[in-house]
Amino acid sequence: MIKKLSILALTITLFTSCVSKKIYTDLEDKYANLKKENRSLTDEMAELSKEKTKVSNDLNELESAYEAAVSERDKLQADYAASKNNLETLKASYKALEENSSASIAKNAQKNRELLAQLEAKEQALAAENERLNTLKKELESRSQRVAELENVIASKDAAMHKLKDAISKALTNFEGKGLTVEQRNGKVYISMENKLLFESGSWYVGAQGAQAVKQLGSVLAENPEISVLIEGHTDNVPYKGNAQLSGNWDLSAKRATAIVNILRENDAINPENLTAAGRGEFAPIASNETSEGKAKNRRIEVILTPKLDEISKLLNEI
């Protein structure tokens, strides 16, 4: 078709000058029609090419499906042959059983009854075991739930103690670097105050600066009535030779702890039942007593804040 168009175009070019206007116009119309026909044929050819591709794809799919069907048929045939062989074997076995004597049949029947009785006994044992396992499963689920509740309570307590530690740190900001530290560990908050902030050497009287620190601590404790407060007095290992009324470092540490308790009790919002004073003497050092710096750290008051664990204890008892 393209060749025809080329020849016609050349003919028009050669004879344009020597043919009449009508002939030239007819040729042009014919050329335009041929171009249109060429475009139509080109489009039709493209469409046929697409159709051919689709048909080819469909053919490939059909071939794959056919091969799969053949494979499945072969498998079914093999299964059928195997089943047929099994059937023949069973028929032969059945025939052999029929040929056995009545005594053998009776013996086999007795054995079958015994096996059936054993099977029933095992089924009963299995049913009992399943029931026991179901009971254990329910108990395990119940305990798992209580453990989850316990973890939630512990997490809540820990978060509350962290919040309390932050509140105490904020309240005692002015005393940081003056022998006072606040930290949280093992679910408790520890406030350590060295004696240089609280007491003169050998004394259990709390100075003005130390009393102010204790009172500010008390203002935070008053807002947390569910906290148990343990005040521990500590000394270094130098034997006490001060007031004759005291028997030694242990007595001095107890006096100092009691002095802190008395200041906290001035705050009526603090429940005295939450307060405990204890003297530890020189027997719980946090530094070496071989240096003056270590001895200074060991001479301290430790306030240990512990959340009340009634709810946790109850959950633990239920587990």
Q: What is the 3-state secondary structure (H, E, C) of 255-280?
A: HHHHHHHHHHHCCCCCCHHHEEEEEE
User: Which residues face 185 on adjacent strands?
Assistant: 188
pLDDT of residue 315: 47
Whole-number average pLDDT of the chain:
82
Cβ atoms of 227 and 221 within 8 Å: the answer is yes
User: Which residues face 191 on adjacent strands?
Assistant: 182, 303
pLDDT by residue, tens only, the chain of 319 residues: 555 556 655 565 655 555 577 888 888 788 888 888 788 878 777 877 787 787 778 788 888 888 887 888 888 788 888 878 887 887 787 777 767 767 777 778 888 888 888 888 888 888 888 888 888 877 777 777 766 766 766 777 677 778 877 888 887 877 777 888 899 888 899 999 998 899 888 889 999 999 999 999 999 999 998 899 999 999 999 998 877 778 889 999 999 999 999 999 999 999 999 999 999 999 999 999 999 999 999 999 999 999 876 554 554 555 5
| CATH annotation of 160-317 | 3.30.1330.60
pLDDT of residue 231: 96
Query: Quick count: other Cβ atoms within 10 Å of Cβ 25?
Result: 11
Coil, strand, or helix at residue 230? strand
pLDDT of residue 316: 53
Q: Which two tokens stand for residue 46?
A: 């493209």
Query: Quick count: other Cβ atoms within 10 Å of Cβ 311?
Result: 16
Domain boundaries, the chain: 1-48, 160-317
Give the position of tokens 């200041």.
263
How far is it, in rounded angstroms, from Cα 310 to Cα 319?
A: 15
Cβ atoms of 229 and 257 within 8 Å: the answer is no
